[in-house]
Amino acid sequence: MKVFKFCKKYILQYKTQTLIYVFLGCLLSILSIATPYISGKFIDNLITGGSLQKIYMFCILFACISLGRVIFSYISNIIGAKLKTLMSYELNAYMLNHIKKLPLSYFNNVNAVYLNQRVNMDANSLISFVLTSIVDILYNLITVIGVSVLIFEINIKLFISIIVLICIYFISYKAFKKTLYKKGMNFKENQGEFFSKLNEQLFQVRFLKINSLEDRLGEKLDNSFVKFFKSVMGYQRISYFFSSFDSIIMALAQISLFFMGGIEVFYGRITIGVFTIIINYFSIALNSVRYFFNLGKSYQDNLIAYDRMLDILKIPQQSNGTEVIETIGNINVENLTFNYGSKNIFENVNLKFCKNNIYCMMGKNGIGKSTLVNIIMGLFVNEYKGRILYNNLDIDKLDMVSVRKNLYGVSEQEPILINDTIYNNIILGVDTNKDEEIKILMEVLNLGKYIESLPLKMNTIVNEDCSNLSGGEKQKLSILRTLLKDPDILILDEPTSALDHDTKINLINYLKSIKEKKIIIVITHDDCIKNEADHVWDFNKCLNEICS
């Protein structure tokens, strides 16, 4: 089955522990089959006036089996929990790694909270189902076969009733499976959307309060809940109907057992002890058959998770070349044409970037400055017409992941800092120790006094939403991190928007001092940078005319 095949590599990754987990499951199955048989023999021993020594023997045997089941169950549960956690993480990491390599345009219409929650829920559900099913299928298969053989030996009529019961369950599952899948898929999709709306309610609390948007977002949540509620009720109705049908079959089976078994005891064809064994075994067999019936429902639920994960995995990753370059001397953009949806952003644009130059990009918001930078950085591969050359090598042939990692440094307009110490934020992306360089750059950006004023200095934790930092401090830390990387290409997006005058002058002078071995691109509205740049490109005008 494709769900199990999909998870095969994670099972093989932990095959030794999985085999131990399966072995313990089989052992527990055998012990569960043995218990009713011993119980029946014990009752017969009491009725026929067995010796006190046999009573002691039965009690010791019961104690050993019970203790064994407790110990083996404990070990099995611990191994099972460990395997589920490890495998779920591996599958989550695999999915997220694929998603991170998708084209940037994929994320334009995707809710990140919904996507993350969807992947996490589906991965955990799938691994838990597969791992549990491997053991439970063997456990219940051994139980059904073992119990059926024993009942066949005791009474063939009851054996036939078990076979009939299995057929009824199989036919019932075939009748229900399509509806279960359809309702389950609708439920999971609406559940993910609803939880993303829940997260939205508290995502930017300060923004909500400033703009008094509590009621507006509350309305959006209500609308999302209506859809979610309908899907919940639709799914629960079919689930409860499925369960109710199962209960009816079980009740009829038990009535049949009491009727046929009672007649056999009445005519003396079986003893009370044997009938007790049959009742217990029939109950065990019934539960095992019910397991396979409910396994069908669980499989449909997890088939939904599998299909949703497959939908993501079918999306092609952004293509990336294999050729690695050690440095960037120049970048040529030839006849670049790019559309964002139906909107034309660039038409046959030609540009050239060389070291020892500061390029200033100016223009109104949304005109394409950041888009151009993203295209040059290889974030829109195969989504434009024209050519981009690095050192006269086509971008399609280059390993742009390596280029961005080693040769690019980017400070964004909205600085991104992680929930970690200030120091770890600064060295993010830097592999070598650069404490001396950090001190120099802290002086350039006037960060030294601020850091020293903090009780934990560089070990101060940046809050998840950076609420313990001002806009200027965030920007300075972002710029420091970018400069510390010492890349061939520096891209600074509105670097002075939150800086004080002295720091701005220091930054401009520093950029001029390092430009000889770098290509520096600054997106800005600041005239101070414009006046010091080697090239100024005003995107409000025809880009080709300006760049020529």
| Range of 226-235, 468-477, 480-489 with top mean pLDDT | 480-489
Rounded mean pLDDT of 309-319? Answer: 91
- The model's pLDDT over 110-168, given as tens digits with 9 standing for 90+, comes to 877 778 888 988 999 999 999 988 888 888 887 778 777 777 777 777 777 777 777 77
- Residue 191's nearest CA partner among 267, 343, 301 is 301
Question: CB neighbours (10 Å) of residue 146?
Answer: 19
Residue with tokens 């509350």: 218
Q: Do domains 2-313 and 330-547 have the same CATH topology?
A: no
AA letter at 149: V
- Residue 249's nearest CA partner among 304, 170, 183 is 170
Enumerate the domain spans of the chain: 2-313, 330-547
Write down the pLDDT at residue 325: 94
In the predicted structure, residue 472 carries a pLDDT above the cut 60: yes
Per-residue burial over 163-177, b = 16 or more CB atoms within 10 Å of its CB, e = otherwise: eebbebbeebbeebb
Least confident range of 20-34, 231-245, 273-287, 357-371: 273-287
- Residue 434's nearest CA partner among 374, 483, 484 is 484
Q: Which CATH superfamily is domain 330-547 in?
A: P-loop containing nucleotide triphosphate hydrolases (3.40.50.300)
| 398 pLDDT tier (thresholds 50, 70, 90) | very high
- Spell out the long-range contacts of 205-208 with Cβ–Cβ below 8 A and sequence spacing 24 or more: 206/467
2-313 fold? ABC transporter transmembrane region fold (1.20.1560)
| 507 pLDDT tier (thresholds 50, 70, 90) | very high
In the predicted structure, residue 547 carries a pLDDT above the cut 60: no
Distance of CA 517 to the CA centre of its chain: 41
Mean pLDDT in the chain?
84
Phi, psi of 390 (to 5 degrees): -110, 120
Rounded CA-CA distance 19/247 in Å is 34
- The model's pLDDT over 236-269, given as tens digits with 9 standing for 90+, comes to 888 777 777 777 777 777 777 777 778 877 777 7
In the predicted structure, residue 548 carries a pLDDT above the cut 50: no
Phi, psi of 518 (to 5 degrees): -140, 155
